[in-house]
Structure 1
Amino acid sequence: MSKEDMGVIAKSDDELKLYYHPDTRIAKQCIALAETIKAEKVLINLAEVKLTETQWGELSELLDKDPTELINTDHPFIKETLSENPDMDPNQALKVLVNNPEVLRHPIAMKGDKIIEVFGINDLMQFQEMDSKDAKLP
């Protein structure tokens, strides 16, 4: 069994997963746009669903990022609890994400093997294009 086969996060080409925290302004926009994409939607509200360190670690690995890069260091929780310039190692970052998912820098969208951080709603259009095989050409 290869390392790729051992993931805890299920992937499906027919399913768009959106990991988000509702406190971010982009989250509502992402949810609205996700509704236009021809795929089953799995909206993972991080205020209601607690991911494990393993799941956060896998998401960061799939994004090819260190877990520390997923954290908004300007978030009030980080500034008030840790410091103005927190120096976290990856394990500390995973613990922060598990217990305080509101510090997630950007929503994360995933469909099949494609996974991205959503910096703006136009980023989600990449997933719409994956459905273009359904389009009728003149």
Structure 2
Amino acid sequence: MNDKDMGVIAKSENELKLYYHPDNRIAKQSIAVAEATNAEKHLVNLAEVKLTETQWAELANMLDMKPTELFNTEHDLVKDKLSDSPEMDENEALKVLTHNPEVLMHCIALRGNKAILVKSINDIMKLQEMDSKDAPLP
């Protein structure tokens, strides 16, 4: 049973998932920090793995955000095709994320039922368990 079969995101306290697009400016550093943890890692390269609208909606919900809040409004695709301040409903935003994941503003890290936007590489440390044997991170 995997994410594709279920249509929703599988969650585990023992697994750190990192959703990233390789064009993101801190994707490489985020991957390095994730690799430094002792948790099982599942790296999801959004240039290679297409998430469903349901999965994007679930990630936005876990972050307590609207799908449109996940966009980098400075991204060329958003500016060129959608305008400087795109007005769209959630369904339209989910379609854009599904077909153009490069507009994702920040990587998303997930562990168990907790999800965070990775605005700086130290954000991933927020998902480390205090009593874990994870390696200390810089």
* Same fold, TM-score > 0.5, yes or no: yes
Contact 1:7 1:58 in 2 (8 A): no
Kindly name which structure, 1 or 2, has the bigger radius of gyration based on alpha carbons: 1
Q: Distance in 2 between matches of 1:34 and 1:43?
A: 9
Q: Distance in 1 between matches of 2:109 and 2:127?
A: 9
Matches within 5 A, 1:1-138: 8-128=8-128, 130=129, 132-134=131-133
Number of residue pairs aligned between Structure 1 and Structure 2: 129
| Identical pairs, percent | 63
- Cα deviation for residue 114 of structure 1 reads 1.3
- Cα deviation for residue 84 of structure 1 reads 1.6
Q: Distance in 2 between matches of 1:64 and 1:110?
A: 13
- Cα deviation for residue 133 of structure 1 reads 3.8
Partner letter of residue 68 of structure 1? T
TM-score (norm 2): 0.88
In structure 2, the gaps of 5 or more residues are 1-5
TM-score (norm 1): 0.88
Q: What are the superposed Cα offsets for residues 88-122 of structure 1, whole Å, 9 maximum, x if unpaired?
A: 21111000000000000110000111110111001
Q: Distance in 1 between matches of 2:19 and 2:77?
A: 20
**Residues 112, 7 of structure 1: CA spacing in aligned structure 2 closer, same or farther, 3 A cutoff?**
farther
